[in-house]
Chains A and B, each alone.
Chain A
Amino acid sequence: MRIRDLLAETFSAIRANRARSLLTILGIVIGISAVIAMTALIDGVKYAMVAQLGLNQSRLVMINAYPNGEPLQRSDLRQLEKGMTDYEFLTGTAGTSSSVSTGQVKLDGIYTNGVEDKYFVAMGSKFAEGRGFSEDEVDESALVAVVSQGLANKLWGQDADSVVGKSLSVGNDRYSVVGVLEDANGYTTGNETLYVPLSTFQTRIYNWGLDQVYGYAREGADLDTLGERTKSYLVSYYHLTGEDADGYVYIQTMKSMIDQLDSTMGAFQLLMTAVAGISLVVGGIGIMNMMLTNVTERIREIGLRKALGARRSDITRQFLLESVALCLVGGVFGILFGYLGAWALATLGSGLITSGMGMQITPVVTPSTVLLASGICIGIGLVFGYGPARRASRLDPVEALRYQ
């Protein structure tokens, strides 16, 4: 029997039992919804993180080191770079909040970050306009600034044509703006951030060491081992011992952050997996039940088809395809409802899941998720449809034709 004929038979059989088919696939719908909602949310959170952190950050090792309670200085970084050759560079930042003003607008509590030129490379920053700092500007404590798009909007309004070249004041100093960063950049900073060269920051705004050091790993380096080695290097470099080591040096990588996220989501994932698993099994049994009813109802039809020349495999295929098609219909609804459910959950719980990260989660349904769901549906259709289909194919044509 040809595939097209089989599909036509399947379609008309399902259409003939529309109401019953819809009720039967409910379990599959719920199961697939759970699978989709779960993966869409988790993928959404991961995407949001990657988007927020930038691709380059997957090569970042975040180093918080206060050997003996003292912060690192720029000069320390250059020493450390010589010792740890797995990093392309190390770059540090220092920050505080300050008041920023133009002639017209004055904003308080703006997070102000002193950074080196390579900071923007490490963060994979994208500039809406202008550029980052040059090495010279950092070395010479130039009075230049980079603002985030959010800050630019607050200072000069949404529809300011160009911000580069305008000036702003912090304290008694006037800075000229050289670049505007696209939003969603850097996880330590909110939407309104001011960047100035690190040296300028330390001499004019707040004289303190480095809050945070970023190591930018060489291409292909394994971040986990690099993190470990960085820690032990720092421990021996600063002669730290025992408990001091843990207290003074804290290393984090992108991967460890995602691991952390995974464990946060673990409970949610477990719950959804359980819901999905149970409803898929129940749904599968429902499908099997319906297929058995179908076979019994259509015994004469099966006998007739066999009498007219259908082989066992033709009958098996016909009924298997029917149960697979039922499950796939359930899957389609499941994907739809799952996606909607993920939106609802994301809206309700986005504060909860991402508290402190300030991210907006958009549920993401990837092709691989759809493929997974379809695979599950086909699997259930085959597993639970096999028994009924086999029963149908083994019916004796004479007895089947006599069946009342």
Chain B
Amino acid sequence: MATPVIETQNVYRIYEGAAGYTPALRGISLTVPRGEFLAIMGPSGSGKSTLMNILGCLDRPTTGTYRLQGIDVSDLSDDDLAHVRSTQLGFVFQSFNLLPRASVMRNVILPLLYSPVDPRERELRAIKALRAVDLPEEYWDHGSNELSGGQVQRVAIARALVADPPLLLADEPTGNLDTATGEMVMRTFLRLKARDKTVVLITHDAEVAAWADRTVHIRDGRLLTAEEERAFVERTARGARAAAGASDKDAASAVVPAGPTTPAPIAGPREASAL
């Protein structure tokens, strides 16, 4: 088998804070092959963003190993990690993090300032990325503080796409989007996948997760085993039935929104058009 894009073994991440030690990740072992579209689901505080920071080489595991494209990144220096981030990774942050005083265009171009991409190509790439997220051209010169929540989200996604990285990490990229726009983003991810890119998507929303090839669940810093997952699926399904029945008491105990987590057949078209 070809080298997986992501391969973590027994990764722990323990935060040292005012309240003592917080083990946010407790033995995560995860393998993602090239071209997979993976969804990670889990309740708030379960360690999703922590995991994404490690997968994105922004943070290092406290113990355990992480190989990105077969390279153990814990051996790399800060500058090498920066290089990995600029050439291998695209981020959509949970809080988007656009530069507030810069225009949409400059925000999207930002990652290219630190990459070897020819400056003359920047604008063209930014335009492609903005088209891919369907942000109307009239907004491209707007300051990013003049946009709606959904528009901000789309700019953040365009910025993650602009360097055309082999691995895209997206933390709740559809949180602020209506169903139609959310679907459009999912289709963009599918197109990336069709071009052999790897996509890791973090979400609360089972319907969103249903677009992915595979979904893993994270609880208290641990991935659910196949067995636990089956149990979880049954529990959630029962909860949903009960909720549909009458009382919403049981539904409230369900940790994630009701909905099937088994990969549903993808409704969207899968044509492999370029970005």
Identify the A interface with B (CB < 8 A): 1-2, 4-5, 12, 16, 300-301, 303-314, 397-398, 401
Contacts and interface: CB of A to CB of B under 8 A. Distances in A.
A7 B236 CA distance: 56
Contacts of A304: 93, 97, 99, 110
B87 A309 contact: yes
A307 B91 contact: yes
Contacts of A398: 53, 58-59
B79 A305 contact: no
Interface of B: 53, 56, 58-59, 78-79, 82-83, 85-87, 91, 93, 95, 97, 99, 101-102, 110-111, 113-115, 119, 159
Contacts of B111: 308-309
B97 A300 contact: yes
B268 to A, nearest CB: 29
A309 B56 contact: no
A309 B79 contact: no
A309 B82 contact: yes
Given A1-B113, A1-B114, A300-B97, A309 B83 contact: yes
Contacts of A312: 78-79, 82
A305 B85 CA distance: 11
B58 A311 contact: no
Nearest to A4: B119
B110 A307 contact: no
Scoring A4, A5, A304, A309 by chain B CB atoms within 10 A of each residue's CB, the highest score goes to: A309
A2 B85 CA distance: 18
A52 B24 CA distance: 83
Contacts of B78: 311-312
Contact of B58 (A12, A310, A313, A397): A397
A307 B95 CA distance: 13
B97 A309 contact: no
5 pairs of A and B residues whose beta carbons are closest in the complex: A309-B86, A309-B114, A308-B111, A311-B82, A309-B85
Given A307-B93, A308-B159, A401-B58, 15 more contacts: A2-B119, A12-B102, A300-B97, A304-B110, A306-B58, A307-B91, A308-B91, A308-B111, A309-B83, A309-B86, A310-B86, A310-B113, A311-B114, A312-B82, A397-B58
A80 B95 CA distance: 94
Contact of A311 (B59, B83, B99, B102): B83
Contacts of B53: 398
Nearest to A9: B113
Contacts of B101: 12, 16
Contacts of B115: 309
A303 B87 CA distance: 17
A303 B56 CA distance: 13
Contacts of A12: 101-102
14 contacts: A5-B113, A5-B119, A300-B97, A301-B99, A303-B97, A307-B93, A308-B85, A308-B114, A309-B85, A309-B114, A309-B115, A310-B113, A398-B59, A401-B97
Scoring B91, B99, B102, B113 by chain A CB atoms within 10 A of each residue's CB, the highest score goes to: B113
Contact of A310 (B59, B93, B99, B114): B114
Nearest to B50: A398
A30 to B, nearest CB: 30
Given A1-B113, A1-B114, A308 B86 contact: yes
Contacts of A5: 113, 119
B3 to A, nearest CB: 22
Contacts of B59: 397-398
A12 B113 CA distance: 15
Contacts of B95: 401
A306 B119 contact: no
A16 to B, nearest CB: 5
Contacts of A401: 58, 93, 95, 97
A401 B56 CA distance: 13
Contacts of B86: 308-310
B97 A306 contact: no
Contacts of B119: 2, 4-5
A124 B222 CA distance: 95
Nearest to B54: A398
Given A16-B101, A312-B78, A307 B114 contact: no
Nearest to B119: A2
